[in-house]
């Protein structure tokens, strides 16, 4: 199991590049030109998220350096320890379904604080990679067709995020050193 | 919602800092983090360019529709209320495959198309159908096979092995999507 995960981690990107470019070439796509067209978007994407990143980074920085984050973590620690969740992960887990930009900024800020290769950094990475924003997506989709009674959509989506959080912790405990 | 999160973080932070006597630290970290956010965005440009370049090739080659065609049979079991030949299944498949490949920009319009097709099968237009709830639960559970943003952020933060979490995230993604399908199936009886 651990071996399989390591193989996936090592091969995923090279295999992905091979398949995408190979398939594109066989289908007669001018792969180089097409790649360049897409790559141009990299620049605009990075600049587009810049103001959002600044706003969220500053807010998270204020929250953490004021000591408010420590207070929050101390308050939730008894509960999270009981469940085996590292308390410093929980703020990220709570904010994840609410906002993509806030959770992305918080992840980057946690990398800065704990390091991306720390236990916290790895669990946070795994969790971010296996969960999604919920509320915004649901409101955009249902808003586009005028559905008001959304029934169990939000609950099912939040249960999925919770499962992603728990699975991330269990899997990281198996694969990485604490 | 972002609005609320943002203002809460800042206001609570400022109030707590007064009690803790940490106003200077707060000022320092606000300035520091503003600067770091810009540095981070700059260091992301290269990886974004690489990834979005690949995404463009994947899109132009018709890879998504090819895989989506194969995925229809599997989706039949997850969406039993939708006829196999109905365009809704095709649109749902396209959206899910685009999300799996991480084609965020392409996935959203495909998803809107999918939910509009599902709405055509809906007898009660203001109430979500089982298929819609299932579709959105899967969509918001994350199905992305390679979490490219996380890998990019790890690399920008100087990780010695940015891709080491792809395997763990893959397993956790399978768990979250399975949970989405199961909970949507169970909850639909009670709502």
Please work out, in degrees rounded to the nearest 5, the angle formed at the alpha carbon of residue A155 by the alpha carbons of A149 and A161: 140
pLDDT band at B74 (very low <50, low <70, confident <90, very high): confident
| A98 to chain B: closest CA residue | B1
Q: Give me the residue from B62, B108, B137 closest to A153, CB to CB.
A: B137
Determine the residue of chain A that is closest to B170 in CA distance.
A130
CA distance B138 to chain A (A): 7
Residue of B nearest to A128 (CA): B150
Q: Which chain B residues are within 8 Å of A44, Cβ to Cβ?
A: none
Domain ranges of chain B: 1-44, 62-187
Nearest CA in chain B to A150: B128
Instruction: Give B32-52 pLDDT, tens digit per residue.
Output: 999 999 999 999 999 999 999
For residues B120-124, average pLDDT: 95
Q: Which of B140, B142, B182 to mutate to test the interface with A (most CBs of A within 10 A)?
A: B140
Could you read off the pLDDT of B91-109 as tens digits, one per residue? 999 999 999 988 877 888 8
Q: Residues of B with CB below 8 A from A16's CB?
A: 54, 146
Residue ranges of B 41-80 with Cβ closer than 8 A to chain A: 41-42, 44-58, 60-63
- Average pLDDT of A77-86? 90
Q: pLDDT tens across A93-143, in order?
A: 999 999 999 999 999 999 999 999 999 999 999 999 999 999 989 999 999
Distance CA B53, CA B4 (A): 35
User: How far apart are alpha carbons B172 and A130 in whole angstroms?
Assistant: 6
Which of A163, A173, A174 to probe the B interface (max B CBs under 10 A)? A163
Distance, CA of A7 to CA of A4 (rounded, Å): 5
Closest Cβ–Cβ partner in B29, B52, B62 for A27:
B62
Task: Report domain extents, chain A.
Answer: 51-175
Q: What was the pLDDT predicted at B105? A: 74
């Amino acid at each position: 199991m651990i071996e399989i995960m390591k193989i996936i981690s090592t091969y995923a990107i090279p295999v992905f590049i091979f398949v995408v470019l190979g398939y594109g070439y066989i289908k007669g796509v001018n792969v180089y030109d097409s790649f360049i067209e897409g790559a141009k978007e990299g620049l605009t994407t990075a600049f587009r998220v810049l103001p959002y990143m600044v706003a969220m980074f500053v807010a998270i920085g204020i929250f953490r350096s004021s000591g408010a984050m420590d207070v929050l973590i101390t308050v939730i620690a008894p509960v999270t320890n009981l469940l085996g969740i590292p308390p410093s992960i929980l703020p990220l887990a709570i904010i994840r379904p609410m906002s993509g930009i806030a959770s992305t900024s918080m992840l980057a800020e946690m990398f800065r604080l704990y390091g991306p290769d720390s236990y916290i950094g790895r669990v946070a990475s795994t969790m971010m990679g296996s969960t999604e924003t919920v509320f915004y997506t649901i409101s955009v989709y249902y808003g586009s067709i005028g559905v008001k009674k959304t029934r169990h959509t939000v609950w099912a989506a939040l249960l999925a995020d919770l499962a992603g959080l728990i699975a991330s912790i269990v899997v990281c405990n198996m694969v990485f050193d604490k | 919602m972002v609005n609320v999160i943002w203002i809460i973080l800042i206001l609570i932070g400022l109030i707590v800092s007064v009690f803790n006597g940490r106003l200077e630290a707060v000022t320092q970290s606000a300035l520091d983090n503003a600067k770091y956010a810009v540095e981070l965005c700059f260091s992301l440009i290269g990886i974004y360019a690489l990834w979005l370049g690949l995404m463009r090739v994947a899109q132009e080659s018709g890879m998504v529709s090819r895989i989506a065609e194969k995925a229809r049979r599997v989706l039949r079991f997850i969406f039993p209320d939708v006829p196999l030949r109905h365009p809704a299944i095709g649109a749902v498949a396209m959206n899910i495959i685009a999300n799996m490949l991480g084609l965020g920009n392409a996935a959203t319009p495909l998803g809107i198309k999918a939910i509009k097709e599902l709405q055509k099968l809906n007898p009660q237009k203001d109430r979500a159908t089982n298929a819609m709830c299932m579709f959105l639960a899967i969509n918001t559970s994350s199905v992305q096979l390679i979490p490219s943003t996380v890998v990019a952020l790890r690399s920008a933060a100087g990780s010695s092995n940015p891709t080491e979490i792809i395997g763990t995230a893959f397993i956790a993604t399978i768990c979250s999507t399975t949970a989405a399908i199961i909970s949507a199936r169970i909850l639909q009886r009670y709502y």
